[in-house]
A and B are shown apart, each in its own frame.
Chain A
Amino acid sequence: MSHDNKTEQTVLVDELEGLKTDLLTLNMGPQHPATHGVLRIEIKTDSEIIASAKPYLGYLHRCMEKHSENLDYRGIIPFVDRMDYLAAMNQELGYCIAVEKMLNLEIPRRAEVIRVICAELGRIASHLMFFGTYLIDLGAFTPFLYAFNEREKILRLFEEVSGARLLYNYIWIGGVWNDFTSEHLTRVGEICDALHQQLSQYENLVTGNQIFLGRVSNVAVMNEELCYAYGATGPVLRGAGVKWDLRKNRPYSIYPELDFDIPVGKGEMGTLGDCYDRYYVRMMEMRESIKILRQCLDLIEEGPIMAKVPKVLKLPPGEIYHRTEAARGELGIHLISEGEKKPYRLKIKSPCFTHVSMLPAVAKGLMIADFVAAVGSIDIVLGEVDR
């Protein structure tokens, strides 16, 4: 009996040997809701499991670096906004600090505090956007509406102060454009209080949810080694358990005076460096930003908001590479000047570009639905990837 069985099996195996199967090619994007913009990823799958993923970029390439070679230093700020349109304040801050370092400018105290307030509000707005859209990727709709409600308050404040909701052109070389009135400052305090309450609600709603945890824990592990190899920064690196934040490690602006922690992933719900850790780091960062905002409200003092900047701005010949901590990671500005009114070369090191290059490394062996979770967890903004 058993002998017969064996032959039957061998026959079956032989028949299957003759059958040829192939990997299935699947295009995710460019018009895919889970790619947060226009990213195309060519996936080769074996049934549900991904064999390889290949990102194709460039659908949102707007030649920002070439354009800026024909613009004066002030005119570049609106272009810098349009890279990471979800946290434009942080981008402006990075660019302006790089130019100011070249000019050796002293920024008035009030302007510095206002800049940090704006950057932290921008970071919160961006992380709220992440919270909302990431859960949409995973199939939950309601958190998105709640997050947008809070984000709207921040955008409205920005609109009242700077005049625009997303692309502010507010932080200028040498200071800021408009002043915060005392009413605006009270509003910042109110936003902090409301958000503090909301965050614990989000935690009840989402973070403890078993279905959510099932989707994100142990998925797409980016460990410390991988992060260093690919140059990952920001929440991705911190999610891998590395305590590295430029605001603490290479401080700029008034960050050295402020007291805050760097949240790192702990691997509580699975492996260290999985999607949950990256989510967790961002949620905790919002709490730290609230802490920073409250300190800034105490630190702010009356004074001018613009330093004396020459009307025709010419940078001395030289170059600078300056890194700041934007919402998605380290934003590097490499500026080469030849002493003209226009930069000779402006290169932006965008964190998302690096993070997209990590996707092929983690994709292998994931299920397609888990890959969506992985793409969402690195929080890409395609405007910044393609520039």
Chain B
Amino acid sequence: MSHDSVEWEETDDVLTIRKYFSNIFKGFFSCLKGLSITTRYIWAEKPVTIEYPEVKEILPERSRSRLFNDVDDCISCTQCALACPVDCIYIDSEKREETEPQLKTSNGMPIKLNLTQFSIDTALCCYCGLCTTVCPTECLTHTTDYEYSQFTLASMKYDYLDEDVKSWKSRLKK
């Protein structure tokens, strides 16, 4: 035949009748050994899976899931937005007038700026947790919520000044 055929190298050992049957024998018994292990799992081992969504898993406390910002405690320092490696946090603020009453966060930091926008595009977020570590008032935290899928990308953008989002606080804050 005239084509650039590829040779398949035959191995040197010849298949004797003895080898043929010993192969079958070895194959059968090594499989039997394996099967004895798998059969044990039918009765002796308990299932390790859970039946989601009937049973819901509670994530560990440090789990990094949906971000929540407690806007009452936020001092608009923009540290989180600077730390974010994917730039998904958008903050805008304006100066508080001196006539307005003085406000303090829960850990005693004075609030000098009025927060006018705090939104996070969760679709961009990579859940690295860097924003939560730099927050001086610990108002931006990762919660352990994990069921928050959406149909459109636009609805993944959360505005934390929104009343709906604010109302998560009672549920999430411990």
A/B touching: CB–CB < 8 A: yes
Binding site for B on A (CB under 8 A): 16-17, 19-23, 46, 49-51, 71, 74-79, 142, 149, 152, 156, 159-164, 167, 169, 177-178, 201, 204-206, 208-211, 214, 218, 364-365, 367
In the bound complex, residues from chain A placing their C-beta under 8 Å from that of B7 are 365
Per the bound structure, the CA–CA distance linking A142 and B27 in Å amounts to 17
In the complex, the answer to whether A163 meets B48 with C-beta atoms within 8 Å is no
A210-B23, A211-B27 known; A161+B2 contact, CB < 8 A: no
In the assembled complex, the CB of B17 is this many whole angstroms from the nearest CB of chain A, namely 17
In the complex, the answer to whether A204 meets B33 with C-beta atoms within 8 Å is yes
Q: Which of B37, B59, B128, B133 contacts A204 (CB 8 A)?
A: B37
Binds A, one of B60-68, B114-122, B166-174: B60-68
Per the bound structure, the CA–CA distance linking A169 and B126 in Å amounts to 11
In the bound complex, residues from chain B placing their C-beta under 8 Å from that of A71 are 85
In the bound complex, residues from chain A placing their C-beta under 8 Å from that of B37 are 201, 204-205
Closest Cβ neighbor of A218 among chain B residues: B11
In the bound complex, residues from chain B placing their C-beta under 8 Å from that of A214 are 27
Q: Chain B 7-43 against A: per-residue CB contact (8 Å), 1 yes, 0 no?
A: 1110100000000000100110011011001100000
Closest Cβ neighbor of A71 among chain B residues: B85
In the assembled complex, the CB of B165 is this many whole angstroms from the nearest CB of chain A, namely 22
130-149 of chain B: CB within 8 A of chain A:
130, 133, 142
Per the bound structure, the CA–CA distance linking A163 and B1 in Å amounts to 64
In the complex, the answer to whether A74 meets B130 with C-beta atoms within 8 Å is yes
In the complex, the answer to whether B62 meets A209 with C-beta atoms within 8 Å is no
Q: Which of B33, B126, B129 contacts A208 (CB 8 A)?
A: B33
In the assembled complex, the CB of B27 is this many whole angstroms from the nearest CB of chain A, namely 4
In the complex, the answer to whether B3 meets A364 with C-beta atoms within 8 Å is no
Per the bound structure, the CA–CA distance linking A122 and B38 in Å amounts to 27
Give 5 new A-B contacts, CB below 8 A, not counting A21-B5, A156-B60, A209-B33: A20-B3, A142-B38, A152-B48, A205-B38, A365-B7
Interface membership of B97, Cβ < 8 A: no
In the bound complex, residues from chain A placing their C-beta under 8 Å from that of B60 are 156, 159-160, 163
In the bound complex, residues from chain B placing their C-beta under 8 Å from that of A161 are 62
Closest Cβ neighbor of B65 among chain A residues: A163
In the assembled complex, the CB of A154 is this many whole angstroms from the nearest CB of chain B, namely 14
A76-B85, A77-B128 known; A205+B4 contact, CB < 8 A: no
- Can you report 14 A-B residue pairs in the complex whose CB atoms are below 8 A from each other? A51-B6, A78-B128, A162-B62, A169-B128, A169-B129, A178-B62, A204-B33, A205-B33, A205-B37, A209-B30, A209-B34, A210-B26, A365-B6, A365-B7
In the complex, the answer to whether B64 meets A164 with C-beta atoms within 8 Å is yes
In the complex, the answer to whether A78 meets B130 with C-beta atoms within 8 Å is yes
In the assembled complex, the CB of A80 is this many whole angstroms from the nearest CB of chain B, namely 11
Q: Which of A22, A51, A204, A365 contacts B34 (CB 8 A)?
A: A204
In the complex, the answer to whether A208 meets B85 with C-beta atoms within 8 Å is no
Per the bound structure, the CA–CA distance linking A78 and B34 in Å amounts to 41
Interface membership of B83, Cβ < 8 A: yes
Closest Cβ neighbor of A207 among chain B residues: B30
Q: Which of A46, A204, A205, A218 contacts B5 (CB 8 A)?
A: A46
In the bound complex, residues from chain A placing their C-beta under 8 Å from that of B1 are 16-17, 19, 21
In the assembled complex, the CB of B133 is this many whole angstroms from the nearest CB of chain A, namely 8
Per the bound structure, the CA–CA distance linking A116 and B98 in Å amounts to 54
Per the bound structure, the CA–CA distance linking A208 and B8 in Å amounts to 27
Per the bound structure, the CA–CA distance linking A292 and B64 in Å amounts to 29
Interface membership of B127, Cβ < 8 A: yes
A16-B1, A142-B38, A204-B33 known; A167+B127 contact, CB < 8 A: yes
Q: Which of B31, B38, B64, B83 contacts A75 (CB 8 A)?
A: B83
In the bound complex, residues from chain A placing their C-beta under 8 Å from that of B4 are 23, 51
Per the bound structure, the CA–CA distance linking A16 and B3 in Å amounts to 11
In the bound complex, residues from chain B placing their C-beta under 8 Å from that of A364 are 6
Per the bound structure, the CA–CA distance linking A160 and B11 in Å amounts to 52
Per the bound structure, the CA–CA distance linking A50 and B9 in Å amounts to 12
Q: Which of A23, A49, A169 contacts B8 (CB 8 A)?
A: A49
In the assembled complex, the CB of B91 is this many whole angstroms from the nearest CB of chain A, namely 17
In the bound complex, residues from chain A placing their C-beta under 8 Å from that of B64 are 163-164
In the bound complex, residues from chain B placing their C-beta under 8 Å from that of A76 are 85
Per the bound structure, the CA–CA distance linking A164 and B130 in Å amounts to 13
In the bound complex, residues from chain A placing their C-beta under 8 Å from that of B38 are 142, 205
Per the bound structure, the CA–CA distance linking A332 and B41 in Å amounts to 42
In the bound complex, residues from chain A placing their C-beta under 8 Å from that of B30 are 208-211
In the assembled complex, the CB of B6 is this many whole angstroms from the nearest CB of chain A, namely 4
Per the bound structure, the CA–CA distance linking A367 and B85 in Å amounts to 46
In the bound complex, residues from chain B placing their C-beta under 8 Å from that of A46 are 3, 5-6
In the bound complex, residues from chain B placing their C-beta under 8 Å from that of A74 are 83, 130
In the assembled complex, the CB of B77 is this many whole angstroms from the nearest CB of chain A, namely 13
In the bound complex, residues from chain B placing their C-beta under 8 Å from that of A159 are 59-60, 62-63
In the complex, the answer to whether B85 meets A78 with C-beta atoms within 8 Å is yes
Q: Which of A19, A75, A201 contacts B130 (CB 8 A)?
A: A75
Q: Which of A16, A20, A163 contacts B63 (CB 8 A)?
A: A163
